[in-house]
């Protein structure tokens, strides 16, 4: 009789343990999964552009490197970056691609992407030479091209189209990065006539085109993209008057939070695939 009771208690204990295990396992299954983060660094390079992206899988991308490249290279070295998997030069103006030769010569580079346009300057020729010295080739990009795609991540080219433009700014590579439910849009120096033809919606973070110049202000573009945060890469006291007052007013009117590298320093936007948080070195 005692042995029978012991067996009953043992069986009951096993049943309780199994039920508890199933119950807890069910709880674990409904908990939100931990997502890896993606970080987009808008590097303070003065009057120029440079954005460094750390993808959730560890791959990296650099879009432009400012005029000189030393600020970008220093930022990457402090961040202990060993390789740039995707290097993008948005267009051949020196405040965007001037520093890329320095980065190419000092870092391991995977693939290089640029619009199919040339510029008769020593800076542009030096960049081509640095790429050749590394045994790399340039991949020309057009609207519709996908640079990289993996789980929950898509890096797509929205501009330029395969045509000729009168303004070199309009060759700018416009890059959309989607991670989970979040989206970033990097616009180079694209002018309003190009932006009017960009159909991207629900952008979390927008790199303001052309440092906030009036010629790159398209209110229709802002209404379509409806960004939550705008980042202006701009030099303090620059000679061009960037960003223009009308540009700032257009963003403020839409309650878009504005970060500026001349005031906030380098700006970092972090996405977990569900939401984005943004902070500057100097708040």
Please write down the HEC assignment for all residues of 66-114. CCCCHHHHHHHHHCCCCEEEEEECCCCCHHHHCCHHHHHHHCEEEEEEE
CA distance 191 to 180: 29
- Helical (H) or strand (E) element with 40: strand 38-42
CA distance 54 to 155: 12
Provide the sign of the torsion angle of the four alpha carbons 57, 92, 238, 189, taken in this order: negative
- For residue 116, is it within any domain? yes
Host domain of residue 109? 38-280
The pTM score is 0.87
Q: What is the CATH number of the domain that holds 110?
A: 3.60.15.10
Number of independent structural domains in the chain: 1
- For residue 258, is it within any domain? yes
Provide the sign of the torsion angle of the four alpha carbons 108, 111, 112, 113, taken in this order: negative
Residue pLDDT tens, the chain, 283 long: 444 444 544 444 444 343 443 334 433 332 333 459 999 999 999 999 999 999 999 999 999 999 999 999 999 999 999 999 999 999 999 999 999 999 999 999 999 999 999 999 999 999 999 999 999 999 999 999 999 999 899 999 999 999 999 999 999 999 999 999 999 999 999 999 999 999 999 999 999 999 999 999 999 999 999 999 999 999 999 999 999 999 999 999 999 999 999 999 999 999 999 999 999 999 7
Say if residues 255 and 227 touch (Cβ distance below 8 Å).
no
- For residue 211, is it within any domain? yes
DSSP character string of 104-142: HHHSEEEEEEE-S----SHHHHHHHHHHHHTT--EEE--
DSSP character string of 184-200: EEE-TT--HHHHTT---
- For residue 87, is it within any domain? yes
């Amino acid at each position: 009789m005692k042995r029978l009771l012991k067996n009953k208690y043992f069986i009951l204990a096993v049943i309780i343990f199994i039920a508890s295990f199933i119950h807890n396992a069910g709880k674990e299954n409904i908990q939100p999964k931990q997502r890896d983060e993606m970080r987009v660094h808008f590097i303070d390079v003065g009057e120029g552009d440079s954005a460094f992206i750390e993808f959730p899988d560890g791959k990296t991308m650099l879009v432009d490197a400012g005029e000189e490249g030393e600020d970008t290279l220093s930022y990457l070295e402090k961040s202990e970056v060993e390789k740039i998997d995707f290097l993008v030069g948005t267009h051949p103006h020196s405040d965007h691609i001037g520093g890329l030769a320095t980065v190419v010569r000092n870092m391991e580079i995977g693939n290089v992407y640029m619009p199919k346009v040339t510029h008769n300057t020593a800076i542009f020729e030096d960049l081509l030479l640095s790429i050749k010295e590394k045994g790399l080739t340039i991949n020309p990009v057009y609207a519709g091209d996908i640079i990289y795609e993996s789980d929950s991540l898509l890096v797509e080219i929205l501009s330029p189209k395969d045509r000729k433009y009168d303004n070199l700014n309009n060759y700018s590579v416009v890059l959309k990065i989607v991670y989970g439910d979040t989206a970033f849009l990097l616009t180079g120096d694209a002018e309003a006539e190009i932006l009017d033809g960009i159909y991207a919606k629900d952008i979390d973070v927008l790199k303001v085109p052309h440092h906030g110049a009036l010629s790159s202000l398209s209110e229709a573009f802002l209404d379509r993209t409806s960004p939550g945060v705008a980042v202006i890469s701009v030099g303090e006291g620059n000679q061009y008057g960037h960003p223009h007052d009308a540009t700032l007013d257009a963003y403020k009117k839409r309650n878009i939070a504005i970060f500026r590298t001349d005031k906030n320093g380098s700006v970092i936007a972090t996405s977990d695939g569900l939401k984005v948080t943004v902070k500057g070195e100097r708040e």
